[in-house]
A and B are shown apart, each in its own frame.
Chain A
Amino acid sequence: MLKLVDITKTYLAGTVETPVLRGVAFEVKNGEFVAIMGASGTGKTTLMNILGCLDLPSSGDYWLDGLEVFHNNDDTISGIRNQKIGFVFQQFHLLERGSALDNVLLPLIYAEKYPTDAVQRASTALRAVGLGERLSYTPGQLSGGQQQRVAIARALVTNPALILADEPTGNLDRRSGLEVMAILQKLNREGRTVVLITHDRNIAEHAHRILTLRDGKVFEDASPESVRDAQAELDALEAVTVSDEAATMQRGAL
């Protein structure tokens, strides 16, 4: 599905060369849920930009869904981003004044062929993330967690081969973060390939496989001892809250 071969990336600052990626190579199979972990400065963001076809590597090949990406011109690479990749960003990156529906429709605007049922597809995607009732809400009228769910719907609407989530819980509280992770896990169970980039081991452990970056290389490629289930964690959190509330109410009654 996705294959990186000896990817290197070196930044030039004046005459000083700073190598960030020094030969990253791995494969992700169809339907996998992979987390890429690393402390800051390990080349996580650079790798994410390359995986997302947003930036070119200094050397190496990248195969995505049977296509060699970087031997194409900018227009074709834009088309690949549009068709093959669904992005979920840490900062959500929604258009502030557009409705949830407008935001989800955005990738379709740049599609080779605008689907006749675009609005229907966007509404379906929003329903899939539990926002079927809030199509006309603007980001300002939605909570952080809801905004990130709009972003996930936007990533889904083109039916991409890969969902690429860059620190999707980074700007969210614990509960909203778990909600987002539960959606990603659900999408993965339905067969979607998900690559998650994070510095947080607790988040990474929701994936079946964790790649750890160190010094611009894949340092470790392993499965977590036990895969966390976000929905179960949410339920547990719910139970604690309910019992807390019950306790509070009891105290109030006494």
Chain B
Amino acid sequence: MRIGRLMQQSMTALGRNRLRSFLVMLGVIVGIAALTVVVSMAKATSLKVMQGVNKFGTTAIMLFAGGGKNVPGADPTVVTLTLDDAKAVESQITGVALICPMVMRSGIPVTYSEQSSEATVQGATTNWQEAWDWYVLDGDFYDEQDSATAARVAVIGQTVARQLFQGANPIGETIRIAGANFTVKGVLSSKGTSPMGSDMDDRVIVPVTTAMRRMFNVTTLSVVRIRVAGVSDVQRVAKEIRALIHERHRIQPPDQDDFRVVASDTIAALSQAVSGTLNKILLAVTAVSLVVGGIVLMNLMLLSVTERRHEIGLRRALGGRRRDILLQFLFESLALTTAGGVVGLALGAAAAVVMGSVTTSPTVLSWEPLAMGVGLSVLVGLVFGLAPARRASRISPVEALR
């Protein structure tokens, strides 16, 4: 194949000027390496977001007391979300599978003999497990009887269990929550950290009646957790809840909301907003470095064409067609950028692995940067190699051999 022979000529020519070849590659290496790192980081972020959404529950909606966008959870000073609101959500909106009204306070001291811990106390109805898709590992959840009598019983999270009992069996033991005695009925399975980065295992769950009447002396709720029948219902139900609570709380447009509805898609949007901006900036930097690499390539190739006038003239005299010269120089550019891209990918992957293990920003290696890297380096070679190749092909043998 003539093409094959021309490629071979390109390779030989590159081998003849290794330093220049390397300099040309450098720009592409840096660009593609940066790209690989950025994509690996972005990939990790989106994976984290997905995990976050899964942890939150893909069919879950939370109705928090208190407006404002910056408060991550419920605002304990807002006392307008009532049990009747929760019941209205359940009875008036179609597609709601269950509701779990809760009273929630964090930083509550919990002690057992000499050991102490701080926990987030949730007073919740007995369907808490279904609402969170989170079940007890040991013992039992409290039942309707406990709820009806506002019994002093609790289900504790793994962190609380570990800190108070240090491996001993907590079931049936008595712990003190905010100074009152509670019997431990069950221990929850581990859930790890929340999408917002806080420990989810520092929970103590008690019957909602106990929390309202005996512990916090309140008549209003902190949050209502709602589950809908299917993922496709989430957005609609969330919208209808907003409308319903606006109506029930008589909130007109200029007034600030005294509640907040968070759905799984909100969680995703929130997580992505933070990392998305950073990734966009990094991607822009990558794009710029690739363009700079391309311009370096173009300039060095143009220089090379000028330097190699005699060679080009000779090749034309010996029967090389314009197209043959064009292809030879285009192959040179392509070979350089592709090789640069492969080296960049390897360096970027290595950097991503190191970054993932050394810093807090996680990285995930995947095929996307591979495909993008190879594709982009070929593109850079083609786009920025074309002008020098065309110039080379237009050199007249008479001028060049002079």
Known A54-B397, A89-B401: A78·B320 in contact at CB below 8 Å: yes
Asked whether A111 is an interface residue with its Cβ less than 8 Å from the other chain, the reply is: yes
Asked whether B254 is an interface residue with its Cβ less than 8 Å from the other chain, the reply is: no
Asked whether A79 is an interface residue with its Cβ less than 8 Å from the other chain, the reply is: yes
Closest to A93 in B: B314
The number of chain A residues with a CB under 8 A from chain B is 26
Measured between beta carbons, the chain B residues less than 8 angstroms from A102 are 12
Measured between beta carbons, the chain A residues less than 8 angstroms from B322 are 74-75, 78
Known A54-B398, A75-B323: A95·B318 in contact at CB below 8 Å: no
Contact B319 A110 (CB under 8 A): yes
Q: Considering the chains assembled together, what is the distance between the CA atoms of A89 and B401 in angstroms?
A: 9
Render B262-296 as a binary contact track against A, CB cut-off 8 A, 1 for contact.
00000000000000000000000000000000000
Contact A55 B398 (CB under 8 A): yes
Contact A81 B315 (CB under 8 A): no
Chain B facing A: main interface SS: helix
Q: Considering the chains assembled together, what is the distance between the CA atoms of A54 and B318 in angstroms?
A: 10
Q: Considering the chains assembled together, what is the distance between the CA atoms of A111 and B316 in angstroms?
A: 12
Contact B321 A74 (CB under 8 A): yes
Closest to B320 in A: A110
Known A87-B317, A93-B310: A98·B398 in contact at CB below 8 Å: no
CB of B227 to closest CB in A, whole Å: 72
Contact B317 A52 (CB under 8 A): yes
Q: Considering the chains assembled together, what is the distance between the CA atoms of A110 and B323 in angstroms?
A: 11
Known A93-B310, A95-B311, A97-B16: A111·B319 in contact at CB below 8 Å: yes
Contact A110 B310 (CB under 8 A): no
Residues of A within 8 A of B (CB): 49, 52, 54-55, 74-75, 78-79, 81-83, 87, 89, 93, 95, 97-98, 102, 106-107, 109-111, 114, 154, 158
Given contacts A97-B16, A114-B5, 15 further A-B contacts (CB under 8 A): A49-B398, A52-B317, A55-B398, A79-B319, A79-B321, A93-B314, A95-B314, A107-B318, A109-B6, A109-B9, A109-B320, A110-B2, A110-B320, A114-B2, A154-B318
Residues of B within 8 A of A (CB): 2, 5-6, 9, 12, 16, 310-311, 313-324, 396-398, 401
